[in-house]
């Protein structure tokens, strides 16, 4: 009875650890940001997914609001780049207008640092990518998650470590159970 349960637990532990591998890799990635440039001097060819990056730019006229478990955010395009930026909303952007919609996001130029993800690695924002492209006519291939420096999410690393340890213990239990059955 023990080997099948241990095998199932091993598979679950390894699957969950595999699922968290990107977040864990970002935790240990370089603290030195990739410089993507500023107005008139952008370098999208330097972009590497799941790395710390920075850029300075002017936001697109339109933004897309997203509500997540850790707060309210707005995703903006950065003019003349294939990069979207997800940042926290400002106080005046949290209110609703008379028609129930949110106001236009602030249009002042900004500097952003955070976790850069390729479109393929940010599938939860695919709707925003599509809406931005249909509205602007520009292609977007990256999203910068502002204010997410590496080395801060200890909870994810602790959970990843627990899943790996859980899988190892269950791998040992599985092997032990098989060897006991042979006797």
pLDDT attached to residue 129: 95
- 23 with 36, same domain? no
- 114 with 72, same domain? yes
Range of the domain at 61: 29-150
- 134 with 168, same domain? no
For residue 18, the tally of other CB atoms under 10 A from its CB is: 12
- 45 with 110, same domain? yes
- 91 with 45, same domain? yes
Quote the number of domains for the chain. Answer: 2
- 108 with 60, same domain? yes
- 44 with 134, same domain? yes
- 95 with 40, same domain? yes
Strands (E) across the chain are located at 34-35, 37-38, 41-42, 51-57, 59-68, 71-78, 83-88, 110-118, 142-146
- 80 with 94, same domain? yes
- Tens-place pLDDT, residues 145-165: 998 899 988 998 999 999 999
pLDDT attached to residue 91: 84
- 85 with 125, same domain? yes
CATH number, position 101: 2.40.50
- 48 with 77, same domain? yes
- Tens-place pLDDT, residues 7-50: 999 999 999 999 999 999 999 999 999 999 999 899 999 999 99
């Amino acid at each position: 009875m023990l080997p099948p349960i241990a095998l199932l637990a091993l598979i679950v532990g390894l699957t969950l650890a595999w699922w968290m591998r990107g977040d864990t890799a970002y935790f240990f990635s370089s603290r030195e940001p990739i410089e993507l440039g500023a107005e008139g001097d952008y370098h999208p060819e330097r972009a590497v997914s799941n790395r710390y990056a920075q850029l300075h730019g002017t936001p697109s006229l339109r933004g897309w609001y997203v509500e997540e478990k850790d707060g309210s955010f707005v995703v903006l395009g950065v003019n003349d780049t294939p990069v979207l930026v997800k940042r926290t909303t400002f106080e005046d952007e949290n209110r609703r207008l008379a028609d129930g919609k949110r106001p236009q996001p602030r249009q002042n130029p900004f500097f952003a640092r955070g976790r850069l993800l390729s479109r393929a690695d940010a599938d939860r924002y695919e709707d925003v990518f599509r809406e931005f492209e249909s509205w602007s006519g520009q292609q977007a291939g990256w999203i910068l998650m502002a204010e997410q420096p590496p080395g801060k999410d200890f909870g994810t690393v602790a959970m990843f470590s627990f899943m790996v340890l859980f899988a190892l213990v269950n791998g040992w239990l599985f092997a032990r159970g098989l060897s006991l059955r042979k006797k």
